[in-house]
Structure 1
């Protein structure tokens, strides 16, 4: 059985101003361990406007869906206890400059290293963890995942607004993340030792705080026996997060069963595919990285589903239903834009944050 878990980052917003508020400590004080699902955790992030929910290790998608909905409801109640609301968006729709950063030795190390680059980095992602036997297997899996990461991003874009303006992108968060050293699709590595040596070199070069910090979109987790895929923005609804988890788990299973070496697409074409997915989401063109050509983004989704079809297993019906809902009702970015303007988009996000789908 291939286990799965999800980490979700959220913003705390004032319902009157609709802007993020740096009161994570106060909000988390309202969350007791027994309020959360078994094995789940809630904690602060780098910026004081952010909180994170991390699910426990789940055996199937229904269990994961239940945990994500429960976690969102617990954090939403805690935010409301402080007169705030929980918003699931990749970037702040409206924002004030330079919110307070969280205190702590590692947070301060990151702040001192990146300075102004993190002073207003209020970006929130959806990180999917899928269990694997060991780190060498994790590296093998990541190699197979590389061509499909842009398609997961196109499905998971949920940050069209930033600081009050429509950026024109489905995922502005990805553009913000691209500013960090080494960001983008994970390089091809033959072994875990080769991967770890590359990370250590970046630490020695002074561009990463430590070996637990990389900006690649997929990696062997530095803490858990998992492959960690962190390409998508925080999902607007729990259902969208479950879809990311289901497709990612199917990609991992497909990689584990692969009888041939992973493809090695051109690095510049991979970068172009990430940019196109961030720019257009599902509403325009994408890049077929294996053919190195432009195609409609929805065709890439169809290709991904065909690629994993034999390994969806018990997730097939749920993933199919969730995918149809997103294709019909829109990604998070499409739903935000449908609200019309930045202010109403915040209201929508705080309203649907606990929606289960």
Structure 2
């Protein structure tokens, strides 16, 4: 079962530690031979952001190597422009009104959402797992819904915004919740039902087109994959690999299950997402299936138990990475432990290209 990851990053000035809108100049310095086979780099909506998309990978080792290589290529290009590459879900320090990228579609997005996107410098980690067809993708997403909050708790890496501690592990998810249709994906019976719901939102004028939704998991509109985009951009490539390994195991578990997908209460699911964004692993979480508050660590244990039969060759890597997160903390914890927004930026720009 193939896997791939898209990672969004900020470009920052090493002195002011604030994002700088020079994405086009940085991307122009990245030659195709600088990247792994099949990998690409892209612009994002805001001119302070760049994206690395891995090639299609077969195992976590290959994926990890690609993510490190992509981060290093972007970091070299950023440094050549006098900038640094920053892996965080939100800018710890920021100036108002960063420049938007040029392009017709970006202009439509700006026109629809106005002030919502004028300083939306949020960066996520998107995991793609290959599936046979779109109906299968919808079936898998239905099974994933109760586990998305736990992936978020593990992937929180945005405690600071514009010089203040938000009190959240993932402020990015709070920012994303401002958009129409954000949150856990609704339950759909078929791909046709899913696509009709997306088309309806486009007709209502709240989405630019059918390729744009804000759900935390979806059948990819471009690739034969399930796309899970619940986590913030990871502080290190290893944290991104952990998200990928757990997500692929969840997809395998869904495909192997003979039981119908669970249908947890929608309000409890929303509460679980909020709790994961608020506390990460450093406090309580909400069990969407039991409908009650539990320690976040218990939810991680339940996730590992749920996918244990389908971890396969990824098992040793995933368990090792989980131990590392347990000992060293999530990205959000590491940012806070650094000592404040300025120190967090310094830390993140130093460890962005670490391989482990």
Q: Same fold (TM over 0.5)?
A: yes
Normalised to the residue count of structure 2, the TM-score between the two structures is 1.00
1:85 and 2:84 matched: yes
SS in 2 for 1:119: coil
Match of 2:155 in 1: 156
Alpha-carbon distance between aligned partners in 2 of 1:112 and 1:9, rounded to the nearest angstrom: 23
Q: CA deviation at 1:173?
A: 0.2
Match of 2:139 in 1: 140
Alpha-carbon distance between aligned partners in 1 of 2:269 and 2:78, rounded to the nearest angstrom: 39
Match of 1:346 in 2: 345
Alpha-carbon distance between aligned partners in 2 of 1:114 and 1:81, rounded to the nearest angstrom: 34
Alignment of 1:52-131 (within 5 A): 52-131=51-130
Q: CA deviation at 1:105?
A: 1.0
Q: CA deviation at 1:312?
A: 0.1
Alpha-carbon distance between aligned partners in 2 of 1:237 and 1:191, rounded to the nearest angstrom: 36
Alpha-carbon distance between aligned partners in 2 of 1:132 and 1:39, rounded to the nearest angstrom: 19
Alpha-carbon distance between aligned partners in 1 of 2:340 and 2:321, rounded to the nearest angstrom: 26
Alignment of 1:275-314 (within 5 A): 275-314=274-313
Q: CA deviation at 1:33?
A: 0.9
1:171 and 2:170 matched: yes
Alpha-carbon distance between aligned partners in 2 of 1:251 and 1:283, rounded to the nearest angstrom: 23
Match of 2:263 in 1: 264
Alpha-carbon distance between aligned partners in 2 of 1:87 and 1:30, rounded to the nearest angstrom: 17
The CA deviation string for residues 103-150 of structure 1, in whole angstroms up to 9 with x for no partner, is 011111101110110000000000000000000000000000000000
Q: CA deviation at 1:218?
A: 0.1
SS in 2 for 1:262: coil
Q: CA deviation at 1:43?
A: 1.0
Alpha-carbon distance between aligned partners in 2 of 1:342 and 1:88, rounded to the nearest angstrom: 13
User: Where do 4+ consecutive residues of structure 1 move more than 2 Å?
Assistant: none
Alpha-carbon distance between aligned partners in 2 of 1:282 and 1:311, rounded to the nearest angstrom: 24
Q: CA deviation at 1:26?
A: 0.5
The CA deviation string for residues 269-313 of structure 1, in whole angstroms up to 9 with x for no partner, is 000000000000000000001110000000000000000000000
CA RMSD of aligned residues (A): 0.3
Alignment of 1:317-356 (within 5 A): 317-356=316-355
Structure 2 unaligned segments of length 5 or more: list them: none
SS in 2 for 1:89: coil
SS in 2 for 1:115: helix
Q: CA deviation at 1:341?
A: 1.0
Q: CA deviation at 1:34?
A: 1.2
Alpha-carbon distance between aligned partners in 1 of 2:288 and 2:240, rounded to the nearest angstrom: 25
Alignment coverage as a number of residue pairs: 356
Q: CA deviation at 1:356?
A: 1.1
SS in 2 for 1:130: strand
Q: CA deviation at 1:241?
A: 0.1
* Greater Cα shift, 26-35 or 68-77: 26-35
Alpha-carbon distance between aligned partners in 1 of 2:26 and 2:54, rounded to the nearest angstrom: 18
The CA deviation string for residues 45-66 of structure 1, in whole angstroms up to 9 with x for no partner, is 0000000000000000000000
Match of 1:214 in 2: 213
Alpha-carbon distance between aligned partners in 1 of 2:99 and 2:293, rounded to the nearest angstrom: 42
Alpha-carbon distance between aligned partners in 1 of 2:252 and 2:222, rounded to the nearest angstrom: 21
1:192 and 2:191 matched: yes
1:234 and 2:233 matched: yes
SS in 1 for 2:117: helix
Alpha-carbon distance between aligned partners in 2 of 1:344 and 1:35, rounded to the nearest angstrom: 30
Alpha-carbon distance between aligned partners in 2 of 1:336 and 1:356, rounded to the nearest angstrom: 18
Normalised to the residue count of structure 1, the TM-score between the two structures is 1.00
Structure 1 unaligned segments of length 5 or more: list them: none
The CA deviation string for residues 191-250 of structure 1, in whole angstroms up to 9 with x for no partner, is 000000000000000000000000000000000000000000000000000000000000
